[in-house]
A = this chain, B = another copy of it.
Amino acid sequence: MDDLDREILSILRRDARTPYTEIADRVGTSEGTVRNRVERLVEDGVIERFTVATRTGNVKAMIEVSVDVNVDTAEVSDRIADWQQVDFVWQVSGEEDIVVVVDAADTDAVNGLITQARELEEVVGTKTRLILNERVG
């Protein structure tokens, strides 16, 4: 992981469809080198996957979920991850145990998801933040 790798990653984070040829021009090397590097980054697990960031709805939100003690947090996370409109589920340290990032049609839909979470046996509380704006690093 040298600076060249980091430059390539930063280009791919912003647009993963940038051709190797263009990346090569921008970082001052050859297409083959960019290709080798990207292959190695995937191989090493630095690049977990090529994907698309979507916004199918109009509202994104973080729902911080507290679960009861003696609950299998991983199992609850799995169930939540299956819900439509859920982008990510993180198990986290701190006051709450699970953070759910959702992409919903509107605030009503967010509310529905919160309700759905609170209705789970294992869940003892939720705290929600609307995501007003997103930047990529």
Contact = CB atoms under 8 A, between A and B. Distances in A.
Nearest to A103: B137
Interface residues of A, number: 51
A120 interface: no
Nearest to A133: B91
A131 interface: yes
Contacts of A12: 51-52
Interface string A79-91: 0011111111111
A55 B74 CA distance: 20
A84 B7 CA distance: 11
A137 B92 contact: no
B54 A46 contact: yes
